[in-house]
Amino acid sequence: MEHVYIGHFLTRIEAARRLGVPSQDVSERDDLLRVGGTWLEEVYFEFQFTTLGFRDDLGRIVRELRRTFDDVTISDWLAQPNRLLRSASPLQWLASDLDVRLLSRAATVAGPV
């Protein structure tokens, strides 16, 4: 199964700067999606951040989905069209500032498979 990755990506240090925390705290967060980390340092999806900091609305969805799914599966789901979101992807839904409660419902009802 192929997954869709939406870049750009941030290093741990870049993510820490955006979050305003020490770099060692970044990898411990359960609301932050990451890729890699086995042989090389992990990277973080830039779409999780705004120019002002972290997207808490997305973080809540990630935390909810992470109970069942891994980061790659969640990031793929975020990039795919969703029938409960009028065929928008969850990332498009968030970018359009639409109802986050409906996105949370989509995550529960029509989340990753």
Alpha-carbon dihedral angle through residues 70, 53, 38, 79, given to the nearest 10 degrees:
40
pTM of the shown model? 0.85
**96-109 pLDDT, tens digit each:** 887 888 989 888 88
**67-98 pLDDT, tens digit each:** 999 998 999 999 999 999 999 999 999 988 87
CB-based contacts of 101: which residues, under 8 Å, 6+ apart?
none
Q: What would the two tokens of residue 87 be?
A: 């065929």
